[in-house]
Amino acid sequence: MSKAGVFAMALEQLESAAKRLKISDSTLRVLSHPERELTVSCPVVMDDGRIEVFTGHRVQHSNARGPCKGGIRFHQSVTLDEVKALAMWMTWKCAVVNIPYGGGKGGVQVDVTKLSKEEIRRLTRRYTVSIMPIIGPHKDIPAPDVGTNAETMGWIMDTVSMFQGSTVLDIVTGKSIDLGGSLGRREATGRGVMFNTLELLKRLDMQPCRTKVAVQGFGNVGSVSADLLHRQGCRILAVSDVTGAYYHPDGLPIPDMIEYCKTTRHNVLDGFSAPGVSKIDMNDIFGLDVDVFVPAALEKQITIDNVDKIKARAIIEGANGPTSPDAERVLLKKGKYVVPDILANSGGVVVSYFEWVQSIQSFFWDEEEVNKNLQNVIVRSFEAVWKVAQEEKTDLRNAAMMIAVKRVAQAVEERGIFP
């Protein structure tokens, strides 16, 4: 599937759920179209004095259930089609865990590894000003994504605050603790992956201490997922990032690998070594003899071209859209379990919601309370999805989509169409 096919993939998932739910054609047409798409040009003065122009996007899929919510991605592969798909998935993600948000997403087409910190800061501020007319604490609240982090969110918050003339803490989530961020937010997506994995293992009568795991991607989501599953007793046999894949038959030293990444310029694993650890081909991570595979990188990683390699009994989608529909059909036919992205990696947006609430109230929770509330939301949501899957005799993605699409469709229909 080409890059241009990502939104088509999202539409295929929507149409499948809508058909099962018998959603009206009119409501389906509304849900099939983003409410707003903004494309901006961002000229930036580079360190050597020349001017480069970067293309950015912000898409708002639906505000039927509340303000739009979604990350901002800085990556060379960003396209409007991709951002539209990610915004739609955010709508379903918020709905399946039943938080009062709709879906949004943003991105700038840029290779941040080729920019200095000051160039990234100037790009962030220019992009922020360009999308500022459509974002706001009660309109659209950005957050970090691939290529952005808490520092990026701090620059966005400061830029908006300078224009407003007062500090606007609730304009973004995923900020640093010093700037009104929430304890537990950085680990939230990976922690949600861990909770979902444990819930599935319970239902498959599998013990964490006997579970072998491979994790594709070692950024924020992948590294935290690997670390927390490791702490639960799982053996993490392999991880990979953009620099390569690493394998140990008895389990990798995940804490050491995380500490190593802190010492490298772009927080990558390149150059890591430890006794018993071997570097393997990037594509070999798909075919390892493991129980659980966590794709936590980018979209369309498991495709019809490599799906036959997968031996894992369960796939927990730490990334958004990592499994193409045709590949998933093969997995399901083989009896594999796929915990879909809109549920598996929803921990980030759940704690973003907690952060937003805390910022509005100027009343902040301790980390134990954040993590406990996150666990309650994830466990309750997983139970609901599992129950629908059993009752409807369908897979977990269809079940999650049915819950999410039904909630959004009801909101659209109850609100009616303006004017």
Annotate 305-361 with DSSP letters as a single string. TTGGG---SEEE--SSS-B-HHHHHHHHHTT-EEE-HHHHTTHHHHHHHHHHHHHHH
pLDDT value, residue 207: 97
End-to-end CA distance of the chain: 39
pLDDT value, residue 265: 81
CB atoms within 10 A of CB 358: 20
What distances in angstroms separate CA 9 from CA 13, 108, 280, 339, one per listed residue? 6, 21, 31, 17
Residues 317 and 170: their CA atoms lie apart, in Å, by 28
* 314 Rama class: left (phi>0) / alpha (psi -120 to 50) / beta: beta
Q: Which of 280, 230, 286, 291 is nearest to 258 (CA)?
A: 230
Whether 297 and 319 have beta carbons less than 8 Å apart is answered as yes
CB atoms within 10 A of CB 124: 24
Stated as kind and residue range, the H or E segment containing 91 is: helix 80-96
Active site residue 19: no
- For residue 165, what are its two tokens? 């003339």
Domains and CATH numbers, the chain: 34-172 (3.40.50.10860), 186-344 (3.40.50.720)
- Look at strands 212-216 and 292-295 and give their pairing: parallel
CB atoms within 10 A of CB 347: 31
Q: Which residues contact 278 (CB under 8 A, 6 or more apart)?
A: 246, 247, 248
* Of 93, 105, 212, 336, catalytic: 105
**What is the Cα 171 distance to its own chain's centre?**
19
Whether 185 and 368 have beta carbons less than 8 Å apart is answered as no
Residues 193 and 48: their CA atoms lie apart, in Å, by 42
- For residue 179, what are its two tokens? 């700037």
CB atoms within 10 A of CB 282: 14
Look at the pTM and tell me if it is higher than 0.75. yes
Q: Which of 108, 37, 10, 1 is nearest to 340 (CA)?
A: 10
Calculate the CA dihedral of residues 47, 48, 50, 56 and round it to 10 degrees.
-30
Residues 108 and 136: their CA atoms lie apart, in Å, by 19
Residues 120 and 46: their CA atoms lie apart, in Å, by 9
Query: pLDDT by residue for the chain (419 residues), tens digit each?
Result: 444 488 998 999 999 999 999 999 999 999 999 999 999 999 999 999 999 999 999 999 999 999 999 999 999 999 999 999 999 999 999 999 999 999 999 999 999 999 999 999 999 999 999 999 999 999 999 999 989 999 999 999 999 999 999 999 999 999 999 999 999 999 999 999 999 999 999 999 999 999 999 999 999 899 999 999 999 999 999 999 988 999 999 999 999 999 999 998 888 999 898 999 999 999 999 999 999 999 999 888 999 999 999 999 999 999 988 999 999 999 999 999 999 999 999 999 999 999 999 999 999 999 999 999 999 999 999 999 999 999 999 999 999 999 999 999 999 999 999 99
